[in-house]
Amino acid sequence: MARIVHAAAAQMGPIARSETRKDTVGRLIALMREAKGRGAELVVFTELALTTFFPRWLIEDEAELDSFYEKEMPGPETRPLFDEAKTLGVGFYLGYAELVVEDGRKRRFNTAILVDRSGAIIGKYRKVHLPGFAEPQPRDHQHLEKRYFEPGNLGFKVWRGFGGVMGMCICNDRRWPETYRVMGLQQVEMVMLGYNTPYNHTGHADIDSLTQFHNHLSMQAGAYQNATWVIGTAKCGVEEGSNMVGQSAIIAPSGEIVAQAVSLEDEIITARCDLDLGKRYRETIFNFAKHREPEAYRLIVERKGAVPPPGE
């Protein structure tokens, strides 16, 4: 019997700095209802889906900074989303800023959770690959993720749910092949990720002009090379003066895009995802047990930065 997941990517247009949690959660619920109406049983929301992308500003008042983070999940303002998910029988991935006290100190993470169709949290992921800077740069919009978050400490786990093996990552993680491969080695069958990606993220015009190409390239390569579905969901459009990429996409284990958003605003795209499609690739081209040679890859975990060989 085929293992089919009817999945949706719930792209979001801009979230204004002044927009309340209640208003934003209302948008998420509307998207979830539309996805359900189109047959979806799993909805993938975006990174930092509850707030504007606040790392674009230097925020020195701690109370103001704290206002962008969730201290519990669900909390009073996000509970309606969980209740609606349970009523509709729809699961979801949700990205948000997480503030916790761990190891006796306040800690901040860029986090995503996976919620099943009963409204129960079955998985949590914290973003590992943080882009940007810890200190302000001479530019119009900052990218201070390294200031406002610390690297995730939960690794790249997978979870059983929706009839298969589910994985999560966030935004910049999608650019790193290790992200997908660690999950691929756990036989992941669907990777969910949200992103908030500005066009001017590197400061080099030639690279930034390829932002849309690189967005899909990284997700398609990750899907194909690890025989997994990838669902990438954007927060996009012009948000507080920052132009951000859309192109939310659902990508098959073949690397093919089977659904793609066409707007820069709230939009639902859906696909019928056959989890067994990945099995064909795991048994042929990417049969890891048969073809991988881990002894040849030691530098990947032994060395962090690139080092040239000795000599001139």
Catalytic residues: 47, 127, 171
The per-residue DSSP string of 34-95 comes to HHHHTT-SEEE--TTTTS--GGGS----HHHHHTTSBSSSS-TTTHHHHHHHHHHT-EEEEE
Rg (CA), the chain: 19
Instruction: Determine the distance from the C-alpha atom of residue 116 to the mean position of all C-alpha atoms in its chain, rounded to a whole number.
Output: 17
> Which burial class, exposed, middle or buried, applies to 129 when counting CB atoms under 10 A from its CB (0-12, 13-18, 19+)?
middle
DSSP 187: T
Find, among 233, 243, 144, the residue nearest to 200 by Cα. 243
Question: Rounded to 5 degrees, what are φ and ψ at 139?
Answer: -150, 165
Query: How many Cβ atoms sit within 10 Å of the Cβ of residue 287?
Result: 12
* Beta pairing class for 257-260 and 249-251: antiparallel
Query: What is the Cα–Cα distance from 190 to 286, expressed in whole angstroms?
Result: 16
Residue pair 75/67 in contact by the 8 Å Cβ criterion: no
What is the rounded CA–CA span in Å between residue 138 and residue 22? 34
Three-state secondary structure call for residue 8: strand
**Which of 8, 70, 13 shows the shortest CA–CA distance to 34?**
8
Residue 113: phi and psi, rounded to 5, are -125, 155
